[in-house]
Amino acid sequence: MISKLAKRFILNSKTPLSSQPFYKFSQDQIKQNNKSIQEEKNSQEQSEEDQINEEQLRFLLTQSLLYQNTPSELKIRELHKNFVFDESEVQQLGISLNPYDQYSSDDGNVIFIRHGYSYHNYFVDKYINSQTINSKKLKQLIKDKMFSNSQEFVDTPLHPYGIIQCKNKAPQLHKLRIQTVYVSPMQRTLQTCVELFRNHPNKRKIQFIVQPQISEQLTKVSDIFDSNKFIDFIKTSYQKDGISFNCRYFYQHNWQANVIDEQLLKMPVSSSSDSDQEANGEGEEEAQQSFNKIQRHMADTTTIMNLMEYHKNQPLENHYNFVRRVLHTNKCIKRYSLKLKEQSLQKQKQSMVCVISHGYFIDTLIRKCFREKHKSINNCSFIYKSYDKEEAQNQNN
């Protein structure tokens, strides 16, 4: 039974009972609860997907050489011996195991060579650019590790496909009288050099000079120099292959810190509050100066990698400084090659200079110094150039 007071309240009300505030609040509460349940479910699914992606990436790294933490050169060679060639994968990734030469010239006195196919190239082709992986998040996870925060990708070596490329191209160099080889100190270029010249008939007479100035622009994790890998490789190449690298220009192992842009030497000084910093008596400016000093004189792979992660998608070496380094290096190579050519004319024996570097470095040098535009340079591709032709072209222009 409804009391008379309740009947009077219902009859005098201007709004229907179904739209009373109590009923409306109940519907909102139900919607909110459903929304919370759905968000929790989505969060759980997202967490499971992230876990699957992490496990997939760990599996991919485990299946490759990159899972080894700073593997020795001897271990790398042993793993390459056990490598199983997959012709279908080569076709799928579009890898040329015998790359064609670009700008070949019979009278060229300098050969520019891009390093062979590396593990960085392999992961980009197989897991980022191809359709092998459908998960965009997994692709992004791999990309983040390659460009910001993964120790496995620091100074990556050649992939076995890169070794095959070098072995296929080596006989072409055996026919040439090469006197000096300039090589970047990175693992992929050093390995390319050894594989190309291991059986060269004049190997003992060739000067192999490690030149940091021809290294790649500091953009991704694989461009970070690892001194431990470098020292191990230099020793092993001399003992096993009889190739002695001259490191007279390699005066410091933390050379790479000097190419970092001054404006990018900025990282969070402290996670503490301003009051805590004032209490410690250390301002942000003083802490930043202290970090700059450490960065310049005590930089290691971890420090540079942390900087790279903080400044994501931004090269640590800016384009202006990189181009200036390329132009300076070009002058040195040009001066030496012309001097060598003059000596060769006197002896009536043509001698050549070989530069084993990186794709973007060679591309920038060809565009800026020879005024030529071309497609991207293939791995282990040879580019024959003559500085005499460059001078004639500059005079005509």
E-state strands within 273-372: 352-357
pLDDT score of 273 more than 60 = no
In sequence order, what are the residues at sequence separation of 6 or more whose Cβ sits closer than 8 angstroms to the Cβ of residue 8?
Answer: none
| Tokens matching residue 84 | 């199983």
What whole-number distance in Å separates Cα of residue 259 and Cα of residue 328?
Answer: 14
Domains in the chain: boundaries: 94-254+319-396
| Tokens matching residue 271 | 């996670």
Instruction: Note whether 337 and 353 are within 8 A (CB).
Output: yes
E-state strands within 67-190: 110-114, 178-183
What whole-number distance in Å separates Cα of residue 198 and Cα of residue 194?
Answer: 5
Q: CA torsion angle for 162, 113, 222, 363 (degrees, to 10)?
A: -130
**pLDDT value, residue 23:** 45
**pLDDT value, residue 12:** 55
Residue 208 dihedral angles phi and psi, to the nearest 5°: -105, 110
Residue 115 CB-density burial (10 A; 0-12 exposed, 13-18 middle, 19+ buried): buried
> Where is average pLDDT lowest: 48-57, 78-87, 151-160, 314-323?
48-57
What whole-number distance in Å separates Cα of residue 150 and Cα of residue 301?
Answer: 11
> Where is average pLDDT lowest: 234-238, 260-264, 385-389, 392-396?
392-396
What whole-number distance in Å separates Cα of residue 206 and Cα of residue 212?
Answer: 19
pLDDT score of 349 more than 80 = no
What whole-number distance in Å separates Cα of residue 185 and Cα of residue 356?
Answer: 10
pTM: 0.77
**Which residues lie across from 178 on neighbouring strands?**
352
Between 79 and 322, residue with greater pLDDT: 322
| Tokens matching residue 102 | 């670009």
Residue in 207, 176, 181, 177 with CA at minimum distance from that of residue 193: 181
pLDDT digits (tens, 9 = 90+) for 231-271: 889 988 888 888 999 988 776 667 888 888 877 776 554 43
Between 227 and 298, residue with greater pLDDT: 227
Q: CA torsion angle for 381, 386, 389, 390 (degrees, to 10)?
A: 80
Q: Please give the distance of CA 279 from its chain centroid, rounded to a whole number.
A: 41
* Architecture of the CATH domain 94-254+319-396: 3-Layer(aba) Sandwich (3.40)
pLDDT band at 17 (very low <50, low <70, confident <90, very high): very low
Label the pairing between strands 110-114 and 178-183: unpaired
Helix (H, G, I), strand (E, B) or coil at 124: helix
- Other CB atoms within a 10 A radius of the CB of residue 151 amount to 15
pLDDT digits (tens, 9 = 90+) for 103-160: 665 567 899 999 999 989 988 888 888 776 677 777 777 777 777 777 888 898 999 9
Radius of gyration over every alpha carbon of the chain, rounded to an integer in angstroms: 30
> Where is average pLDDT lowest: 127-136, 165-174, 229-238, 368-377?
127-136
